[in-house]
Amino acid sequence: MTWSGSAARPKVGGMKRRILGGTGISVSEYAFGAMMLGKWGNPDHEDGVHMLHAAIDGGINFIDTADMYSDGENERIVGKALKGRRDDVVLATKGHFQMGPDANHGGNSRRWLTRALDDSLRRLDTDYVDLYQIHRPDATTDIEETLSVLTDFVRAGKVRAVGSSVFPAEQIVEAQWVSEKRGLVRFRTEQPPYSIFNRAIESAVLPTAQKYGMGVLTWSPLASGWLSGRYDKASDVDINEGRKALQQHKFDPSLPENAIKLEVVAELKKLASDLGRPLTHLALAFVRAHPGVTSAIIGPRTQEQLADLLEGADLELGGDVLDRIDEIVPPGTDLNRLDADYTPPALADKALRRR
């Protein structure tokens, strides 16, 4: 049986709502991704608090963060912003990445996730989160071990639902089977990257999530800023700026895979102009148009960026526009395969493919 993971609900506060997988939880089509609040982006805590309040006032009721964003500073800003407004939002966070020098200060083991969740709850100043997500797969931990501790979190009332992030389709299926076989909570959501530039998930991840009735929260709808409208020529791309220096492969315009991005941006800008909209509105509307997507995570760094994205929440693309986008970037493809944020160990570790 095929289930819908993003059933529609009416607008609330000017923002359309959808049901998050089979949880019955109503969430806005935009989720506020708080990653850029803190030292990674906007270090002004009060400005971050004001942005979150503006997002909530604009109809966004879904807030997504993670323990590793700005080394925990991000969760503290979110916790500060939600004082007195906790019941107004669906709050999601994530655990997995290394949060200390010891090898056991990260991963998907019971030992680490138990501590990671408690640390997140303390920083967020709340006694529960609505969605707790496993930030990346962990080849060293049996998925049953991970699902077992997540089940305990739900039974303890610390977590309402659980999800995965950047899991390949085959690992999503494995997790669903293990949950059914062992009577454990199952992943209700998946959080993959998705944009006009990064469409690989259309071939297997999105159909698999739809099959299992999972809600899908997509991140980086502006392709790490490429679809923000800031880049028209190679000299506009400063790879030494902030976090870009750590992800040079995504931005270096001397790489053919990135050079073509500038050509595609020019075509998409013309298409957006024909609609009388900025490129950001087109990019977000494209992501929201896929029937498997529940919420598109936006990650503004400034009030102006947030205002622009909120203004585009009403745009719905017709079939003719979506067909044109398909001609520019074919379905199921990534413009730059190096943009992928997860490489399976079988490819990353030479020892796993050599005798």
Please, which pLDDT band fits residue 257 given cuts at 50, 70 and 90? confident
CATH assignment of the domain containing 320? 3.20.20.100
pLDDT exceeds 70 at position 208:
yes
Give the model's confidence band at 158: pLDDT under 50 very low, under 70 low, under 90 confident, else very high: very high
If one counts the domains in the chain, the total is: 1
Q: Residue 102: its pLDDT value, please?
A: 94
Average pLDDT, the chain: 93
Is 33 domain-assigned? yes
Measured between alpha carbons, how far is 37 from 134 in angstroms, rounded to an integer? 21
- φ, ψ dihedrals at 47, nearest 5°: -65, -40
The stretch 82-109 carries a mean pLDDT of 96
- pLDDT-derived band at 346 (thresholds 50, 70, 90) equals confident
- Please report, to the nearest 10 degrees, the dihedral formed by the alpha carbons of residues 254, 257, 263, 267 taken in order: -160
Q: Is residue 276 part of a domain?
A: no
Cα–Cα distance for residue pair 269/204, rounded to 1 Å? 29
For residue 308, what pLDDT band results from cuts at 50, 70 and 90? very high
Residue 248 forms part of a structural domain: no
On whether residue 154 sits in a domain, the answer given is yes
pLDDT at 1: 33
Average pLDDT over residues 30-51: 95
**pLDDT above 90: residue 236:** no
Asked if the structure places residue 58 within a domain, the reply is yes
Q: Residue 238 has what pLDDT?
A: 75
Predicted pLDDT of residue 243: 56
Task: Please give the residue that has the higher pLDDT: either 65 or 8.
Answer: 65
pLDDT (mean) for 331-349: 88
| pLDDT value at residue 290 | 97
Residue 244 lies in a domain: no
Q: Which residues pair with 217 in a beta bridge?
A: 295
- What pLDDT sits at residue 10? 58
pLDDT tens digits, one per residue of 118-147: 999 999 999 999 999 999 999 999 999 999
pTM to 2 decimals?
0.92
Percent of the chain past pLDDT 90, that is, above it, reads 81
What would the mean pLDDT of 165-170 be, rounded to a whole number? 97
Is there a catalytic annotation at residue 69? yes
Residue 234 lies in a domain: no
Catalytic residue among 69, 194, 212, 231: 69
Residue 173, domain extent: 8-228+281-340
- In this structure, the dihedral spanned by the alpha carbons of residues 12, 208, 34 and 229, taken in order and rounded to 10 degrees, is -90
Cα–Cα distance list, 288 to 3, 8, 18, 276 (Å)? 18, 12, 11, 19
Separation of alpha carbons 160 and 142, rounded Å: 22
Task: Give φ, ψ of 335 to 5 degrees.
Answer: -60, -40
Asked if residue 175 is part of any domain, the answer here is yes
The rounded distance, in Å, linking the Cα atoms of 128 and 121 is 7
Rg (CA), the chain: 20
The per-residue DSSP string of 243-266 comes to GGGGGHHHH-TTSHHHHHHHHHHH
Mean pLDDT of 44-65: 97
